[in-house]
Amino acid sequence: MPKSLKNLVFSIIGISFLAGCATINTGYHTADTVAFEHHFTKDHIKTGLCNITSFYHLNNLGAPLTIYIEGDGFAWRSRHELSDDPTPRNPLVLSLAAIDPSDNVAYLARPGQLSASGSPDCTPAYWSEKRFSQEVVNAINTAIDHLKAKSQSKEINIIGYSGGAFIAVLVASGRDDVSSLRTIAGNLDPETVNRYHNVSPLEAIPNAINLALKIAYIPQRHFVSAGDKVVPMSIAKSFAEKIGDKKYESITIVEGTSHTTGWQKTWLSLINMPLYRK
């Protein structure tokens, strides 16, 4: 393992998936089951970095496309050992996409997750210290462009969970077709989260305040759990301040949730909440 990986004590967002670790990653089967039950189509989208796995349904060509971006998943096998496959055990984000009543809905896995061969087709750096790198953002954007062309959509709505929330912000900051941004238990400032957990910094992370200023004009809402021990509520509040939301009107505290549980119960009502507009 490269020295840079050894210096990372553990992946902050992936830590929530460590419980119940098994030798075989059951996330492939559970994701396929959810997709089958909700009539999603599966696709492995070629990018310059790796194939990005997607599940989607397109029921109204030309209507806006809602895209869910997965979290960091099962990035670490234990506190000190990097996982050989970051596929999430729990298909939380795909389950939320399945609840979404929008005409055109797509789910995007992160690099290395849910690969067609059953094992990652990129190096572990892209689910550890390079997980927010420009290469990853480019790959996600390529996948979005592919799905946007399929759906013939002119506008996209982005929803990011956990580490996928920061990917969502990175993507939104560089596009002109994003109509809305929502995050769930979002790691909106990885540098601050890593300091909070006293772990090593990641490589070349864009400054959160610069990103916030770029996406401040986009209607948005950030859903947080009051009891989240992985990404504390202070992270969302800090981000809200950076976009000029001093009263935290862009934040919704969702009772009965933790970082990984409880979101499905109220998701249908949450996605219908009005968005914060600066």
CATH number of the domain at 3-270, please?
3.40.50.1820
Domain parsing of the chain, residue ranges: 3-270
Give the three-class secondary structure for 237: helix
pLDDT of residue 163: 95
Helix axis angle for 163-173 and 134-151, nearest 10°, is 70
pLDDT of residue 195: 83
| Mean of pLDDT over the chain | 89
Q: Could you say which DSSP state residue 149 is in? A: H
Give the three-class secondary structure for 183: strand
Provide the edge-to-edge strand list for the sheet that holds 156-161.
41-46, 51-58, 104-108, 65-69, 156-161, 178-184, 220-224, 251-253
pLDDT of residue 79: 64
Q: Could you say which DSSP state residue 14 is in? A: G
Which pair of tokens denotes residue 43? 């696709």
Give mean pLDDT in consecutive 10-residue pieces for the chain, a chain of 278 residues.
41 38 72 97 97 98 98 82 92 98 98 95 93 95 98 98 96 97 95 80 75 95 94 94 96 96 97 96
The length of the chain, given as a count of residues = 278
Give the three-class secondary structure for 267: helix
pLDDT of residue 92: 97
Give per-residue pLDDT as tens, 29-86: 999 999 999 999 999 999 999 999 999 999 999 999 999 999 999 987 876 788 999 9
